[in-house]
Amino acid sequence: MNVNIRQLQAQKAKLKYVTVRMYNVGFGDAFLLLLPTSEGTRKILIDCGVHAAGRNTNFDIKEVVSKIIEDVTDKGMEPYIDVVICTHRHQDHIMGFADARWSDVSVGEVWMPWTEDPKDSEARKLKSLQSRLATQLTDSFARRLLAPSISEPEKLRLSGLKDLAVNSMSNTNAMKTLHDGFSNNPLHRYLPPSQRKEHTFTTENLPGVVVHVLGPSRDPDVIRKMNPPAAQSYLAMNECASVGQSIRPFRESWAIQPPGFESAYPHLAVPARLKNQLDRTDTEAEELLAASLDQAVNGTSLMLMFQIGSAYLLFPGDAQWGTWQAAMQDTQWRELLGKTTFLKVGHHGSHNATPVEFVENILEQDNFQGMVSVQKIDIWKNIPRAPLMSALRDKSGGEICISQEEDDTPPRFRRSDDNKVIEFDVSV
Amino acid sequence: MPTRQTGTRVQTPPRRPLKIYAFDPMLGRNVGNKIVLDVRNEPLAPGPYGQRIQVMDYDGAAGVYYEPVDLNAPEVLVQSGLEPSEADPRFHQQMVYAVASKVLENFEVALGRRLTFRQNKPLKIYPHAFIGANAFYDPKLVALLFGYFKADQMDPGANLPGQTIFTCLSHDIIAHETTHALIDRLKRYFIEPSNSDVPAFHEGFADIVAIFQHFSFSGILRDKIQQTRANLREPSPLISLAEQFGYATGKGQALRNAIANPNPSDYQTMFEPHERGSILVAAIFDAFFQTYQLRIRDLVKLATDGSGLLPQGDLDPNLVNLIANEAAKAAQSILTMCIRAIDYLPPVDITFGDYLRALITADYELSPSDQFGQRAAIIEAFRIRGIYPDSVSSLAEESLLWGSTDDYESLPEFFPVEQLGDLLRREAAEWSRSPATMQFEHVQSETCEESANSTWLGTSYDDPFVDLDHNVVQALAEYALKNRKALGLHPSHDLKVSVTGFHPVFRVAPTGDMLVELVAQFTQSEREINANDERELGGLPMRGGTTVIASASGKIKYVISKPLLSPNLTPEQWERAEQRKLRQIRYVQEVDVRNPLTPYCDVTSEQYRTRMKNGLSFAGIHRGLQK
């Protein structure tokens, strides 16, 4: 580990706490870390976005951006952020970056998962596939929504699915800001670096901070899983259909219409009610595909541990089981995870982003605080997952703050009167 | 069918030759990919539509039928079936029929009895059911559904970009799906995902059957032995699964293959059923390569004046023939062993460790001497992959035999053979009858509702799953009730005992001895006792069950039991039963955390409550076929 111990100790003397500020965006993530040092407060922005299906109507994303820019502008200075982090490309984590005002902000470094590296051919392939799939699925759900005879519950289901697919679209404008839209030309890091020993690093922009990159994986088997199953054939079929190409498998002369066939070969007749059951290219398959795509993009999430003095702040993005499993199997990472003193709960408190194993056997009892950024969406009753929330509350000794639960803010958390910002000071 | 009575009558031939692609059309341009498969001759109507395998070519996506092939048409007969062609749907029908028939025959020969499919129905095969890179066995329809799709535009391998790929033209996919249908017929509860080995066993076993069938293609085997200088471990289509499908879906390689370096942590971490199943595939093929080496060792020594080192250049064609014969024999022998072991499995909640014990027991019963070291090779192959059965003290052959460690307090009494009537005689007669002489029965289109009835004792014996007559079921059920304790069944009278299967088997050992055995499966479910658990188990009941193997005289040879928690159990059995329940609950959690739909599900819905029962259909699993 390339850690400059002396530098660390020197900083430790000056740093008493780190402030974690959660913007109450709704169903989305925007976090600002404030590190007071002798040379002023260092700032790390982690994500800035909100989901199409779960906007906070009292605090829209434009206003969030204004507030963040205001918060990173020191008196008499230009707005400046030491490090901007995009954990992954989902809208609910980055759509705020599409705002034009970011061009007035200068930035020290931008960190993104390696899957966003424009120079990496594997990453480009993956990204193009995921974006094509998101576009196709969005179109398909939108088309189905236009059907005249559609029932009300079906309408709700389809628009939820459409929002899910939209969330994975390429988000070009936001990504453009992150790649070259700030007022200066910041250093870009695509993490983790390919060498394992560089997965832990320090940077001059964040004195006193050791960064550990626990994910996403670069293992080819894991990357293959970032391709949602069945995506290729779905794409190929849709793309053929959209340019009017036939997907009929044989010359027309082989095909026989049912009435004629069934009287010529009664023993081969398929009962009418079975005919529909044979065609499996239905919305159910698209539903699974949309969820798989969502999971795959979440799977590209940066999973970061900030080690600051005695504090260990874990920001797993929306990392899914694959990343967690790999981290928990690695003895060094597992030990590190056990030291967590602050946890940003992944994926808005959903079932798949915080393993039971981590909560039950790795986190230390009564030794951490946590934040969940979420707003309940009617059609997704499982987010945040109630049993997980209560398990985390039990494990932390009641120190979990959920953004949507205005009336239930644990004592040491500060919620602003307008309910737009929630803060916690992590002592270092 | 009218029979020609003029002139001298020609005897009905026992076999029917049919052309197929040995692998799939992608290798079509390579020499030897078009082969003739010999299947049993049976009366056929256009379709092909036989007694147990019926090809129904209705395209669910296009809403049309395709012209069915008449395999009895003289033009077709004289050329051993239609020439392989991607453009002619009738060839597709011929190929699915031929390959599925071959798999069925392999099972029947190994198991020593005639088989039908689930609910005693024929298997329907829809070669062009839908659009999509997928194929699956649908247990409700008792049918195989094959999709077709366009090859990947960017990375199609040897396919043309955007070319139409037919999953029904892949020998391996057909064999794989047919095997699913047969396992489901033999072990109906293996379709319930009660632990991570259960779906993995279904997948791995289906791959094993598909890949081993390659070794019966003698021309291809000879070429491969010549090319690889008898080293069959070298990567090739012979030991790969579904190459075209793998390339066409952008995977850039065959879908799966039979070789992988053993790594004990894989068994701990691999979860996805196909991946986990591939551990089983690799173990079995390891054992195959071992016995193959042993079988050809003397041959190679003889051919090389004792050095064992093959000379440079092409091998002598005679040597290649001899080696190919040995390879084919070794393959058939291991495949038979693998299939036969199914009879020796518990009826519920199988693990790979159970399968190891079943393999060893079944093979030991038939040939105690282990002439080619098959059993030793299998044990070693499982050991280096970290697969150990629960509750055995060592991996010695004697400890792996079923029953040798299960210390039941009392042995069950003799099987009620006298009450089973002339079942044995009837089954034996059926087994010795050639299918070619069977009367063609015109089976009506089936209805597909699954009856809710079951063979619950005291309620109804009309279980559509079990092709047994009423008296036999009654005799067996009474036997099970009397021997609950000795069979590891729950003693509570609230808990019914179901007769899930019963059949005699007739096998000929390598020594020429005839082995006749009776195999019965009894199951119970905890559903009646504790409805709350069902929630935790995702809608699946907690099941227990016992397989009983008896000799023809009725003497009980093995009691293979996965008991429910019950006062009948010894403390060790209780402990194991408890662990099994915890494992099932944990498995549900493991499935949930990986399922991308979990976060977006309505946890209060019926669909979520029964997700383990309905959410993990084979359709679901196979949507992940292309990894």
Express each pLDDT in B13-55 by its tens digit: 899 999 999 888 876 666 678 899 999 999 999 999 999 999 9
Stronger pLDDT, B444 or A407, i.e. the higher one: A407
Of A114-123, B20-29, B102-111, B483-492, which range is least confident? B20-29
| Encoded tokens for B250 | 């952008």
DSSP strand pairing (A342-344 vs A369-372) = parallel
| Contact between A383 and B58 using a beta-carbon 8 Å cutoff | no
pLDDT tens digits for B294-341? Answer: 999 988 898 888 888 888 888 889 999 999 999 999 999 999 999 999
**CA B341: distance to chain centroid?**
11
The mean per-residue pLDDT over the stretch B269-293 comes to 90
**CA B88: distance to chain centroid?**
30
Q: Residue B609, SS3?
A: helix
> Which residue from A minimizes the CA distance to B161?
A236
Spatial separation of the C-alpha atoms in residues B412 and B487, rounded to whole Å: 7
Helix axes B197-213, B89-111, angle to 10 degrees: 110
Residue A74 CB neighbours (<10 A): 12
Is residue A360 over pLDDT 90? yes
Of B60, B132, B620, the CB nearest to A233: B132
Is residue B447 over pLDDT 50? no
CA-based nearest distance B131→chain A, Å: 6
Q: Residue B66, SS3?
A: strand
Alpha-carbon distance values, B233 to A289, B224, B421 (Å) = 37, 11, 50
Q: Which residues in chain B are closer than 8 Å to A277, comparing Cβ atoms?
A: 60, 141
Residue B272: HSE in the Cβ half-sphere, 13 Å Cα cutoff: 19
Spatial separation of the C-alpha atoms in residues B24 and B95, rounded to whole Å: 10
CA-based nearest distance B457→chain A, Å: 33
Q: Which residues in chain B are closer than 8 Å to A248, comparing Cβ atoms?
A: 62
Q: Which residues in chain B are closer than 8 Å to A233, comparing Cβ atoms?
A: 132-134, 149-150, 152, 249, 626
| Contact between B597 and A279 using a beta-carbon 8 Å cutoff | no
| Contact between B64 and A255 using a beta-carbon 8 Å cutoff | yes
Q: Are A8 and A208 in contact (CB under 8 A)?
A: yes
Q: Which residues in chain A are closer than 8 Å to B150, comparing Cβ atoms?
A: 233, 236-237, 240, 247
Mean pLDDT score across all residues of chain B = 82
| Contact between A229 and B68 using a beta-carbon 8 Å cutoff | no
| Contact between B627 and A164 using a beta-carbon 8 Å cutoff | no
Residue B40: HSE in the Cβ half-sphere, 13 Å Cα cutoff: 22
| Contact between B594 and A229 using a beta-carbon 8 Å cutoff | no
| Contact between A267 and B64 using a beta-carbon 8 Å cutoff | no
> Which residue from B minimizes the CA distance to A255?
B66
* C-alpha dihedral, A346 to A349 to A355 to A357, nearest 10°: 120
| Contact between B592 and A294 using a beta-carbon 8 Å cutoff | no
**Rg, C-alpha atoms of chain B:** 24
Q: How confident is the model at residue B395 (pLDDT cuts 50, 70, 90)?
A: confident
Residue A122 CB neighbours (<10 A): 14
Is residue B463 over pLDDT 70? no
CB-based contacts of B125: which residues, under 8 Å, 6+ apart?
B53, B54, B55, B56, B96, B97, B100, B143, B144, B146, B168
Give me the total of CB pairs closer than 8 Å, taking one residue from chain A and one from chain B.
191
Q: How confident is the model at residue A282 (pLDDT cuts 50, 70, 90)?
A: low
List the Cα angle B357/B358/B363 in 5-degree steps.
105
The mean per-residue pLDDT over the stretch B223-234 comes to 86
**Residue B360 φ then ψ, to 5°:** -70, -45
| Contact between A356 and B604 using a beta-carbon 8 Å cutoff | no
| Contact between A250 and B597 using a beta-carbon 8 Å cutoff | no
Spatial separation of the C-alpha atoms in residues B527 and B539, rounded to whole Å: 10
Which residues share a beta bridge with B49? B45, B54
Q: Are B332 and B371 in contact (CB under 8 A)?
A: no
pLDDT tens digits for B473-515? Answer: 788 888 888 888 888 888 887 788 888 888 888 887 777 777 8
Q: Which residues in chain A are closer than 8 Å to B59, comparing Cβ atoms?
A: 249, 255
| Contact between A240 and B150 using a beta-carbon 8 Å cutoff | yes
Q: Are B520 and B507 in contact (CB under 8 A)?
A: no
| Contact between B132 and A237 using a beta-carbon 8 Å cutoff | yes
DSSP strand pairing (B164-166 vs B143-150) = antiparallel
Q: How confident is the model at residue B6 (pLDDT cuts 50, 70, 90)?
A: low
Spatial separation of the C-alpha atoms in residues B262 and B249, rounded to whole Å: 27
Is residue B120 over pLDDT 70? yes
Q: Residue B369, SS3?
A: coil
Q: How confident is the model at residue B66 (pLDDT cuts 50, 70, 90)?
A: very high
Q: Which residues in chain B are closer than 8 Å to A269, comparing Cβ atoms?
A: 445
Closest listed residue to residue B559, CA positions, set B569, B548, B571, B572: B548
* C-alpha dihedral, B299 to B303 to B307 to B310, nearest 10°: -100
Of A219-233, B39-53, B84-98, which range is least confident? A219-233
CA-based nearest distance A141→chain B, Å: 16
Of A267, A281, A292, the CB nearest to B49: A267
Q: How confident is the model at residue B157 (pLDDT cuts 50, 70, 90)?
A: low
**ipTM for this model:** 0.84
Q: Residue B140, SS3?
A: coil
| Contact between A267 and B442 using a beta-carbon 8 Å cutoff | yes
Q: Which residues in chain B are closer than 8 Å to A270, comparing Cβ atoms?
A: 56, 58, 445
| Encoded tokens for A32 | 């600002």
| Contact between B627 and A229 using a beta-carbon 8 Å cutoff | yes
> Which residue from A minimizes the CA distance to B603?
A382
Spatial separation of the C-alpha atoms in residues B212 and B208, rounded to whole Å: 6
Q: Where are the beta strands (DSSP E) in B60-110?
A: 64-66
Q: What's residue B445's pLDDT?
A: 29
Is residue B112 over pLDDT 90? no
Of B65, B130, B627, the CB nearest to A256: B65
